[in-house]
A and B are shown apart, each in its own frame.
Chain A
Amino acid sequence: MRPNSAEILQGVQGSLMTYILPEVQGDFARTELMLINVLLGIATRDLDIAAQILVDDNAALRGLAREVAKVLKDAPRDGTDDMVELLENHAGTSDPSVRISDLSATNDALRDTISRAAVALTGATESPHVELRARIIARLREELQRLPHNLLGPRADG
């Protein structure tokens, strides 16, 4: 038995805080070390969940791309002429592997296309377009809320 990558990173965190931090002089260096500790924590967590997050997000974005294509086909809007086919193509893709780099490349392509559609919907007043923009925002919000990096803690609206 040997420690896996996540366990190694956790161990390094413990070592830094236990043995190194007490020896470090200077506010700047201590702050850097504390940040490194936080980053190692993020990396440890991402090792386990990053691929699953991207797989799920890509699937959700494909569904959204299909939905956006349908609305724009039924109710065309200026500036979206070339988007329907592109969205339909993206909706029909699948993840080539579960490597983070491959999943991220697919995610980037999907986000880019949906982003262009969302921009084209800005200022829309017809209900299918207004509703579609709201659904895109809701989808983006869901994705952002899944990223478990609320590092500053809760903040009140207002």
Chain B
Amino acid sequence: MDVSTITAYLEHKLPKATGLEVAGLRRISGGASRETWSLDATWQEGGSRSERGFIVRRDPEASLLDTERHVEFQVYSALQSTEVPVPEVLWLEEESQWLDRPFFVMERLPGEASAQVVIADGAADAIARQKVQVLAQIHAFDWEGGGLAGLRRPDVPQDSPDVEIAHWERIMREEALEPQPALEMAIAWMRASKPAPERIALVHGDYRTGNFLVHEGRITGVLDWEMVHLGDPMEDIAWVCLRSWRWAGDALVGGLLSRDEFYRQYEGAAGVEIDRAAVHFWEVLGNVKLAVIFLTGARSFIEGRSKDAMHAFTAHLNPDIELEILRLIE
């Protein structure tokens, strides 16, 4: 992507703009399935000068995860004007004519996503409380009324575990290049240890410190909805608690608060009791999911479809994740 191509695209989307200029085009690290680019644009329109920051989420050559860009776009759209803070999404391009690959464009919100920066923030306690409240709001979202009934979902709440096990097992079987004993044992354990969820909610699928923006002590936007689906909200609770996200290197969930405090705040915000056994199940699934995502990236790197060093690096995190899986299913 270069300045001239993105300028031509914006001129096409903003036909009344004159003198459009793009500055600060840069790729941002992160994002499991799509490249993220940031840019600033200025232009004249209706006699006045306009200025706006944009984020472009472009399909990669290969990724950690194969997800549907229109699903992510659709969820961002559905959550506009709700209590869940998300950036405004502007344009979805399914064809490759503009930037070589499909992409979508959204506004750039102010804030910092880096987990290390967020947990070192002087307002970390307030951010932790907001993080819990926003998660409860996601789970309370009326997904049927909000037009999201088409997301991956179980027919009945009790089927949520089966749907997710099957989803990640399928990807593991497609992507793994060598036997995966810990993951195989985890899948067998999950089949024998399924909870029976009682409701279907919107599940973010990757809700963790590092995937929301923080500005001046408050959460300004929840990002990275690539793994969104409908299912058991306890799945998100477990994902928040994964060891891999304990950025401070201690027992604090997401580097922000203790597991007990997280549970207490969520129960207060959502008005539901956390099913500890279900969270344990979903924590096993979360670790399997993370390991499978890294296997996918490793394969794309090994086969030469990806040149991103991150895809080789993350595969070396899997032994640690497998140790955690064995601890959980022992």
Residues of A whose CB lies within 8 Å of any CB of B are 26-28, 31-32, 35-36, 38-39, 42, 104, 108, 111-112, 114-116, 118-119, 122-123, 134, 136-137, 140-141, 144-145, 147, 149-158
Min CB distance A129 to B, Å, is 13
With contacts A39-B313, A156-B251 taken as known, whether A28 is within 8 angstroms of B192 at the C-beta atoms is no
B246 pairs with A137, CB closer than 8 A: no
- Bound Cα distance from A42 to B315, whole angstroms: 12
- Bound Cα distance from A119 to B180, whole angstroms: 11
Cβ of A145: which chain B residues have Cβ within 8 Å of it?
Answer: 323
The contact of A151 among B28, B317, B329, by CB within 8 Å, is B317
- Bound Cα distance from A114 to B185, whole angstroms: 10
Look across to chain B and name the residue whose beta carbon is closest to the beta carbon of A38: B313
A-B contacts, 23 of them at CB < 8 A, read: A27-B29, A28-B27, A31-B29, A32-B309, A35-B310, A104-B178, A111-B179, A111-B181, A115-B180, A119-B187, A134-B330, A136-B185, A137-B326, A140-B185, A140-B322, A144-B320, A144-B326, A149-B317, A149-B320, A150-B320, A154-B249, A157-B243, A157-B251
A141 pairs with B323, CB closer than 8 A: yes
A35 pairs with B179, CB closer than 8 A: no
- Bound Cα distance from A24 to B46, whole angstroms: 40
Cβ of A147: which chain B residues have Cβ within 8 Å of it?
Answer: 319
A144 pairs with B179, CB closer than 8 A: no
A122 pairs with B185, CB closer than 8 A: yes
With contacts A112-B179, A151-B317 taken as known, whether A137 is within 8 angstroms of B330 at the C-beta atoms is yes
With contacts A122-B192, A147-B319 taken as known, whether A114 is within 8 angstroms of B244 at the C-beta atoms is no
Residues 272-330 of B contacting A (Cβ, < 8 Å)? 308-310, 312-313, 316-317, 319-320, 322-323, 326-327, 329-330
Cβ of A144: which chain B residues have Cβ within 8 Å of it?
Answer: 182, 319-320, 322-323, 326
Look across to chain A and name the residue whose beta carbon is closest to the beta carbon of B329: A137
Total number of residue pairs linking A and B with CB closer than 8 Å = 103
The contact of A115 among B184, B259, B313, by CB within 8 Å, is B184
A149 pairs with B244, CB closer than 8 A: no
The contact of A118 among B184, B322, B323, by CB within 8 Å, is B184
- Bound Cα distance from A114 to B180, whole angstroms: 10
The contact of B327 among A112, A118, A153, A157, by CB within 8 Å, is A157
Please tell me the number of chain B residues within 8 Å of chain A, measured between CB atoms.
38
The contact of A28 among B28, B179, B259, B316, by CB within 8 Å, is B28
A115 pairs with B26, CB closer than 8 A: no
Cβ of A104: which chain B residues have Cβ within 8 Å of it?
Answer: 178
- Bound Cα distance from A153 to B317, whole angstroms: 11
Look across to chain A and name the residue whose beta carbon is closest to the beta carbon of B178: A108
- Bound Cα distance from A140 to B329, whole angstroms: 13
A137 pairs with B29, CB closer than 8 A: no
A122 pairs with B188, CB closer than 8 A: yes
- Bound Cα distance from A47 to B64, whole angstroms: 26
Cβ of B244: which chain A residues have Cβ within 8 Å of it?
Answer: 152
Asked if B250 lies at the interface with its beta carbon under 8 angstroms from chain A, I say yes
With contacts A26-B27, A32-B309, A118-B184 taken as known, whether A151 is within 8 angstroms of B249 at the C-beta atoms is no
Cβ of A153: which chain B residues have Cβ within 8 Å of it?
Answer: 249
B308 pairs with A42, CB closer than 8 A: no
Min CB distance A83 to B, Å, is 14
Look across to chain B and name the residue whose beta carbon is closest to the beta carbon of A36: B309
A155 pairs with B181, CB closer than 8 A: no
6 smallest beta-carbon distances between A and B, as pairs: A115-B181, A122-B188, A156-B251, A35-B309, A28-B27, A112-B179
Per-residue interface assignment for chain B, residues 238 to 255, with 1 indicating a CB less than 8 Å from any chain A CB and 0 otherwise: 000001101001110000
